[in-house]
Structure formats: structure tokens, C-alpha cells
Amino acid sequence: MSPVILKVALSAIAGTLASTLVGCLPALHVYNVAMLMIVFHEHVAQSAWGSDQFILMPFLMGLIVGWAVLNTVPAVFLGAPDESAMLMVFPTQKYLMQGRGYEATMLSGLGALGGAMGLLLVAPLLPTLLPIARNVLSPHLFWLLALIIAYMVMSEFPRGGDRGPTPLARFWDAWKSLLAGILTLVLAGWLGFLLMRRAPIGVTFEFSKIMPAFVGLFGIPWVLQNIASGTEVPPQYVPRSADATPFIAFRGISAGFLGGFFAAFFPIVTGGIGGLLAGHATAQNDERAFIISQGASKFVYYVGAFLLFFVPAANLARGGLGHLVRTMYIPRTMGEYLMILGAMALSSGLAFLLLGVMARLIIWLIQRINYRYLSWLTLFIMLGLVFAMTGWGGLFITVVSTAIGLIPVVFHARRSHCMGVLLLPVTIEMAGYGPQLARLMGLT
């Protein structure tokens, strides 16, 4: 093995191992850690060891691969998902309550592994297809994003509403949750617009502006719900195999891959939205296929977005990590593309193995510590990290966004409406209405 390949492999392995801590701590987002790593590399590693920027890339790939795979653990066992895993929590919490948390975790891991294989399969086509897709779709982006918003609103169908003394009473009963969903979307969008125009926190990187809102909208409501409901987790068992046929795995992976890739390619469309669309496109009505698809979607969204950065001639920086790295490094050659693909393949396999280990570890933990205490601890870790990274301003944003994130919880509306925090403001800006709205809101 040549020294360069060895260096790349070791760097990817180191990144994946580092992700075990990052991925299993709720609210600690990989982009925040990657940001610290880049700063550390710039100021310490390079001068101390003369380390090449090139070698940081497989490390970052390992980090994001590991995070995309292992972050399922807090989502399943602590009910503390990030935005891209939000849809997964509802079915996986049911698995957890049936003592099948480990199985849910591994199903998601299976999806991630399938996503990695899918990325490797399409990798030879990307240098040809991506520039074409970008040229065709870029001018249409504003209405395509609006299309997603319209679908999110229109596709929520009322639950219940068939009991009541009068038709009007039944109508109102059904529409309560629909209106709550629309309210959530609008409020989240309003918050997002405010944060983009005038965030009350001084930050170096764009992602940090939105991170406190993400924690409040997507993570904290689940944890609060667990605390309030006094959830007691039953004993968990570790099966020898997952209850999924090849057909179900194929359905889940293909759906998740397409949704995740759509999200990776389109700016602002996140893994959660990709997963939502993928589920609907393939008519998912099987929880196993759904969990697998969410695992695949999340993996392809995070890892695929970073991979696109390396596609020769595409010049695409998608996702937070691509934008962070672009400030210090521009890949140019096919060799770099192949190197990062190799790092991804290696890290994916390793991360999948680590997923089983970490899931067993957390099962050991939750069977010894009261789940409610663990939920409180999760809440404090989340708030502590937000405060450490963004200060009082960030904490304030988290509180406000938690209030918005609780609306769909209370009224049984779709939680994905919280994704309006990015979708609405970006669509408005892209359509050219941003300045007018900002003037209207007194933000100029």
C-alpha cells in the first residue's frame, strides 16, 4: 500500500472514530465539529506537523459518514433527532416501546449502507450529469421550492373529524390540526426570515445562525414530550437479524437514496424534506421500509452533499460542510474524487459496525438510568451546547423555536412543517420578494 493511500485510509478511520462521540451526543451537529476541526487544522496541525490540507478531506468525510450513520442512536433511544432524522422518530419510538430499539437502529443503518452503495454506483455518472442538471434547474429553483412548500401544506390530510354532533363540528375538529400545521409553517418561516436577515447572534459560519432554531424546532419538543409523558422504556432485546425482506430493503433504500440525493443536490432542501418526498413518491406504508428509507435519505443527504463538492467540473458546494471547506480547499482532479469515494466506502463499513456497538452501549445505559433523568440530561446537553456555541442570543432563539416546534406536537399536526424555517425565507428571497418583505417587517 502506498503511503498516500495509507494516510487517506488512516485519516478516514480517524474521522469515523471521532464521529462516535459527535454522533451520539444529541444536538452536537457535525458541522459545528467540522468547523472546529478546520480551525484546529489551519492553526495547529498544519504548522506543527506540516500536515497537508488534502489529508484533512478524508478525515472530514469519515466524520460526516460516521455522524450520518451514528446519529440515529440519539434519535432512536433518546428521542432527540436532528432535522434530517425527524420523520424517523415516530416509527422508531414505537419500536423502542416494543423493545425493538436496536432493530430500528440497525434498519436505519442498513439504509445508510445502501445509500453508500448507491452513491458509489452513481459516482461514475456524476461528473457528466451534474453540470447539466445544475444548468437546467438553477433558473427554476424558486418555483421548485415553492412547489415543495405547496405540497407540504396540501398533502396533510385531516385525522379524525368523523365524530361530532354537526357537520360543522366535525369539520372544525378535523381542521384544528390542519390549521395548526399551517401556523407552524408560517411561524417557522417567519423565524427563519428573521434569522437570515437579522440574527441576534454573531457567528462566523452561516450554519451556526440556524443551529439553535433547529435544536428548538426538531430536537427539544421530542425530549419534552418524553419528559412530560413519563416514558418508561421496556427492556430492549438484540435480535440476530432484522425483520426485513430484500424487497423491503430495496424499496426503502431506493426511496431514501432518491430523496436524499434530491436534498443533497437542491440548495436548502434538507434531508428531512428529501425523506418526506421519497416516502410519498414510493407509497411507503411499511414501517420497516420507512425507517430504512430515512436512514438512506439522511446518509445520502449529508454525505452526498459533501461528495458533490469533489465531483470534477461540477463546482457544487452543497450542504454545510462543502461551504465550510470551500474557504480553504478547492478539489480539482479526478484523483481527489476517487480518494474521497474510497474514504467514503471505508468509513461507511466502519460506521455500520460502530453503530451496533454504540446501540448496545446506549441500551446498557438506558436500562440502568431512569429514562426521564436521561431525557433531562439530553435536554441540558442540548441547551448547554447551544449556549456554548451561540450564547444567550442562541438560547433565546432555541426557546422561541421550541414554542413553535411544540405546536404540531400539541395539535397532532405534521412536524415537518417546521422545515418552513428554511424553505419559506429562501423561496421568498429567490423569487425576489425578500427586500419588500424585509421592509414590511421593518428589518431594513
Q: How far is the CB of 32 from another protein (least distance, A)?
A: 32
Applying CB under 8 A, among 40, 49, 247, 380 the residue interacting with another protein is: 247
Query: Of 389-418, which residues contact another protein (CB under 8 A)?
Result: none
Is 388 a binder of another protein (CB under 8 A)? no
The C-alpha cell of 118 is what? Answer: 448507491
Please give the Cα distance from 345 to 366 (Å, whole number): 32
Is 241 a binder of another protein (CB under 8 A)? no
The count of other CB atoms within 10 Å of the CB of residue 138 is 9
How far are the Cα atoms of 137, 145, 429, 444 from residue 140, in angstroms, in the given order? Answer: 5, 9, 13, 27
Q: Are 174 and 158 within 8 A, CB to CB?
A: yes
Is 127 a binder of another protein (CB under 8 A)? no
Range 283-314 burial, b when 16+ CB lie within 10 A, else e = ebebbbbbbbbbbbbbbbbbbbbbbbbbbbeb
Smallest Cα–Cα separation from 195: which of 172, 212, 183?
A: 212
Is 235 a binder of another protein (CB under 8 A)? no
Is 167 a binder of another protein (CB under 8 A)? yes
Is 250 a binder of another protein (CB under 8 A)? yes
Stretch that binds another protein, among 205-213, 273-281, 338-346, 379-387 (CB under 8 A): 273-281
Stretch that binds another protein, among 127-135, 298-306, 337-345, 360-368 (CB under 8 A): 127-135
The count of other CB atoms within 10 Å of the CB of residue 6 is 10
Query: Of 415-434, which residues contact another protein (CB under 8 A)?
Result: 431-432
Stretch that binds another protein, among 58-66, 112-120, 239-247, 355-363 (CB under 8 A): 239-247
Is 135 a binder of another protein (CB under 8 A)? yes
Query: Of 66-125, which residues contact another protein (CB under 8 A)?
Result: 90-91, 94, 98
Residue tagged 464521529 (cell numbers): 19
Q: How many CA atoms lie within 13 A of 411 on its CB side?
A: 24
Applying CB under 8 A, among 47, 245, 333, 444 the residue interacting with another protein is: 245
Applying CB under 8 A, among 50, 235, 246, 442 the residue interacting with another protein is: 246
Q: Are 220 and 402 within 8 A, CB to CB?
A: yes
The count of other CB atoms within 10 Å of the CB of residue 420 is 27
Task: Provide CB contacts within 8 A for 324, sequence distance 6+.
Answer: 31, 34, 35, 38, 205, 207
Residue closer to another protein (CB basis): 151 or 205: 151
Applying CB under 8 A, among 117, 281, 399, 403 the residue interacting with another protein is: 281
The count of other CB atoms within 10 Å of the CB of residue 154 is 8
Q: How far is the CB of 281 from another protein (least distance, A)?
A: 5
Query: Of 285-304, which residues contact another protein (CB under 8 A)?
Result: 285-288, 290
Applying CB under 8 A, among 124, 160, 230, 239 the residue interacting with another protein is: 160
Hey, what amino acid is at 37?
M
Q: Can you give the binding site for another protein, defined by CB under 8 A?
A: 90-91, 94, 98, 128, 131-133, 135-137, 139-140, 142-143, 146-147, 150-151, 154-163, 167-168, 170-171, 174-175, 178, 243, 245-248, 250-251, 255, 277, 279-288, 290, 431-432
